Structure 1
């Protein structure tokens, strides 16, 4: 049994060498600290380095671009990963962290699947021809549908979020129109995707239209299509509209509150009669489309003000779902932060899995007017700024941390000097940690003399 912290024995290494060296596939095995313990001759030749010089080196010394350290931290394999080696060669590789019975890293196994990306692409093309018609058709239908998210992508355990998800799941099982209400950035589009994916239309198209992004004069032709010669600049043969494109599936009308009054009347007719007529056309086209609409505006108030049709509002408002803003989702922020850190770390290729308590508290005290979208942007910024696996208060925008700082100052009656000293101490702690206690390097990074650094470290008890 291989255990964490126990190096691979010489006998085992020799056995692995005997097994893998004759194999014509580049293979490498690294220890728990990413030291290379076995590499076969074909891999050494691929890297252009003598095999005996590679053994015993850290993998980053052999290939500066290696992602094994990241794979060990995430404990997740990377399969068929396109990788550019430091010698300039590009290949398709596997990196697999092998875990012991306690879930800790025992060793890492890697191999080069294809030494040439073109070879990999050729295999994929040939494989597509061998796929069964049913499997391939189902795959294509899912891709065409356009919906990417499911209920698994929506996180939340607060009362309001649980209620929204419950209503959404129930709505997905019906044929009724759905109206998603909520501030910008709350996740209305995610709900629309999830409702479509959970419905009996999931293999049909999911067509998205942003009503606010299309000029009023073009919206009708965009939704209903047009015939050839309908207007100057019309394409030869005409154009199919979004409703026709979504026939049998779902159309998601985002920012429905920005739709002009003239278009509201035409949309109402489509919802009532379940038929459309292209611009410049005379033919009535029957359609079967499920409508999911979304808005961050108060449609009821707009009805009262006369800027939104009451009959359209009630036609859309069959199954309404109110998605709460982040500030009203008590207890949801912390799990959201860690879920987004996991997602963004994978996207950015930079492993960050912790957030310091004071930074988290500052985020919890912030009102998040941009909701989850703003939270994701702030975390992406923080990941780009940190040099460690932890997000600190200094990695957050000042407009977030100042809220917490101002509250603390006012409650404790602290002076500006207190505030400045606290910030200075935090910065010193961060750079001492970053340099591993190297005072010369810390002083250089902070652009202060070493004597000044020693004085500050003594003052704040950081020696």
Structure 2
């Protein structure tokens, strides 16, 4: 019964004319064949592509027109072939679709074909354009994330001291959760770096990271800055109103730096945001829901401020879910060398001046300083040193006098109880420096160095091993050692 319907369908001149009217205006080559793969409908575009007239095509089997046709195979398998590469009898290569159309009983009654791309070059050009569009979209996404996202990750937090390892461990745990975070640490310790890294490693990393310094904004402007305002809310209000930082950070993270400087009245409003998860714009009447994670930071003792009624106790416990103490630089002096080398590389790139390294003597002097300004101060000292050096190397003469001078040594003597100032230690240090200077003078020639120092070569080898000098000479000296 279905076969009879199929035959009647193709014998209906009205329907065939209708299909031609539909197919012909379409600039894409299209064809319709019956179950015997005879051409029943073909549009002008396909005729031009194959180089035949319509009269030559209608009623002929596709195999007679194109011996490479796969329509018989498609009818047999009853499976469509989508975006297949096909070489026609006329030598043209194209990307085509072949689709079998079946009746209710699962029998193939006709097939539909379409040339998707008339040649491979056209196809490749489309692919290139799509890739270019994807690349541009990725670029815009990256730039948008740079503008509204966090710039730093764990790799930017340098240090392998136990205290720093502990801080990074807790921060990674905080990133895996959605709890509020409180970062404690002196100015310049890297609290903002931790905030960026926590956001970047969290499930919110594809959403905005918005930072605000509570101490830098006048108290009378803080509310409109955080929550925004409606048009006409106050004199000078922008037409159309303004969106606040909390709305900007929706689904992401807001970093409240120096939260201890926030006025008590504003603290109450922050507490409401945490409890109700909604904000009120200045001059607004409708609450706006927000989903924001708070990372707060301070260099002050919030517990003490709570006791002095300068910070709300309920807000303190709301933000003090995951507390991370970032150690000052003076408590992780073992990180000085790796930090200095990292910062020198960073500053070299920024300043366009190549710096290969820093001397051991300079590193020791840096380790002997108390660093009240922490990592920020270290970066400033190294930037100054880069500006002063005429070579590609930083040595002690490029460091400021307050780090290298007698007052610095005196301060170190008074504050650093771990430093050994015994006569034996002083003599050993002098001996070590004498051997290092001599090896530099002889360009690593141990025999000549032993002669100048008036000791045997075996004795010199013992000293080198004792002071671990063989591992501290530079590459040039190593290459010249005899």
**TM-score normalised over the length of structure 1:** 0.59
1:276 lines up with 2:276 in the alignment: no
Give the aligned partner of residue 444 of structure 1. Answer: none
Give the aligned partner of residue 340 of structure 1. Answer: 343
Q: Within 2, Cα distance between the matches of 1:221 and 1:157? A: 42
Q: Cα RMSD between the aligned structures?
A: 2.2
Give 2:191's match in structure 1, choosing from 188, 191, 196: 188
Question: 1:69-96 CA deviation, whole Å, 9 max, x = no partner?
Answer: xxxxxxxxxxxxxxxxxxxxxxxxxxxx
Q: Within 2, Cα distance between the matches of 1:325 and 1:144? A: 30
Question: 1:157-206 CA deviation, whole Å, 9 max, x = no partner?
Answer: 11110000000001001110000000000000000000000001111100
The within-5 A match list for 1:18-417 is 130-131=133-134, 135-136=138-139, 138-402=141-405, 403-406=407-410
The alpha-carbon distance between structure 1 residues 284 and 335, as it changes in their structure 2 partners (threshold 3 A), is same
The alpha-carbon distance between structure 1 residues 140 and 357, as it changes in their structure 2 partners (threshold 3 A), is closer
Q: Within 2, Cα distance between the matches of 1:176 and 1:409? A: 44
Question: 1:181-239 CA deviation, whole Å, 9 max, x = no partner?
Answer: 00000000000000000001111100010000000000000000001111111001110
Superposed displacement of residue 142, structure 1: 2.5
Match of 2:362, SS state, is: helix
Q: Is the Cα–Cα contact under 8 Å of residues 402 and 408 in structure 2 kept in the other structure?
A: no
Q: Is the Cα–Cα contact under 8 Å of residues 149 and 208 in structure 2 kept in the other structure?
A: yes
Q: Is the Cα–Cα contact under 8 Å of residues 141 and 204 in structure 1 kept in the other structure?
A: no
Match of 2:182, SS state, is: strand
**TM-score normalised over the length of structure 2:** 0.57
Superposed displacement of residue 355, structure 1: 1.9
Q: Within 1, Cα distance between the matches of 2:379 and 2:251? A: 34
Superposed displacement of residue 396, structure 1: 1.0
Superposed displacement of residue 356, structure 1: 2.3
The alpha-carbon distance between structure 1 residues 164 and 229, as it changes in their structure 2 partners (threshold 3 A), is same
Superposed displacement of residue 404, structure 1: 4.3
Question: 1:342-373 CA deviation, whole Å, 9 max, x = no partner?
Answer: 11111111111222222221111100000000
Q: Within 2, Cα distance between the matches of 1:369 and 1:133? A: 45
The alpha-carbon distance between structure 1 residues 188 and 127, as it changes in their structure 2 partners (threshold 3 A), is farther
How many residues align? The count is 288
Match of 1:172, SS state, is: helix
Indicate the structure (1 or 2) with the bigger Cα radius of gyration. 2
The alpha-carbon distance between structure 1 residues 190 and 128, as it changes in their structure 2 partners (threshold 3 A), is farther
The alpha-carbon distance between structure 1 residues 347 and 134, as it changes in their structure 2 partners (threshold 3 A), is closer
